Amino acid sequence: MLKNRFFWIAAIAGLIIDRVTKLIVVKTMALTIPPQEIQVIPGVLHWVYVVNYGAAFGILAGSPILRWLSLIASVALMAWAWFGRRMARWEQWGYGLILSGALGNGIDRFVLGHVVDFIKVPFVYVPYPNPFPRFVWIQFPIFNFADIFINLGIICLLIGIYRTPDPPKNSN
């Protein structure tokens, strides 16, 4: 049986979802200024084809370090899952999802020189505590499924910290 199989399932499934959705966006939407916007759920969820030459929020835009960081992180995660210990189930899901995101955006950086982003949540309602608790609307950056999977992977790892470990397999 394959060691850390949930890691590999999460990594492969996430990468396929990321690559297919980006391919659909690139083939069906024009890269325009201002960007073309399709309202999937008006006011809640829109598709907007844009490119990002940096990391989150455009950090390190144009720097070649991002492509190499994603490659190193991807190789390290795969080596750890293959040669390392059997991980707990939440760790497998978490690291597998993080790998799918790192590979998805890394492939974009190596092949295209930028990352394809297309998911837009026009405004997010967040609590604002000062001076009295109230809510404000903020404009959230445009992102893709690779970004979602990286964040879901982190959430899985946080859940795994607070969960009891998987019971050891009976060797009989």
Q: Check: CB of residue 95 under 8 Å from CB of residue 77.
A: yes
Q: Report, as an integer, the average pLDDT of 112-131.
A: 81
Using alpha carbons, select from 146, 154, 114 the residue that is nearest to residue 15: 146
Predicted confidence band of residue 139 (pLDDT cuts 50, 70, 90): confident
**DSSP 8-state assignment for residue 143:** B
- What is the mean pLDDT of the segment spanning 108-132? 82
122/78: higher pLDDT: 78
DSSP structure string for 27-76? HHS---SSPPEEEEETTTEEEEEEEESSSGGGTTTT-THHHHHHHHHHHH
Hey, which bits of the chain come out as E strands?
Answer: 37-41, 45-52, 115-120, 124-128, 134-138
* Contact in structure between 108 and 116 (CB atoms under 8 Å): yes
Catalytic residue (one of 18, 108, 147, 166): 147
Tokens coding 5: 């199989």
155 Cβ neighbours under 8 A, 6+ residues apart: 94
Q: What is the reported pLDDT for 127?
A: 66
Q: What is the pLDDT of residue 19?
A: 98
Q: Is 147 a catalytic residue?
A: yes
- Residue 132: predicted pLDDT: 61
Both structure tokens of 161: 């910290």
Q: Is 117 a catalytic residue?
A: yes
Q: What average pLDDT does this structure show over 18-31?
A: 96
pLDDT band, very low/low/confident/very high, at 172 (cuts 50, 70, 90):
very low
CA atoms within 13 A on the CB side of 111: 11
Q: Is residue 20 within 8 Å of residue 104, measured between CB atoms?
A: no
What pLDDT does residue 148 have?
96
Residue 46 is predicted with a pLDDT of: 93
Give mean pLDDT, residues 45-71: 82
Give residue-wise pLDDT tens across range 66-111: 888 889 999 999 999 999 999 999 999 999 999 999 999 999 999 9
With a cut of 80, say whether residue 136 has pLDDT above it: no
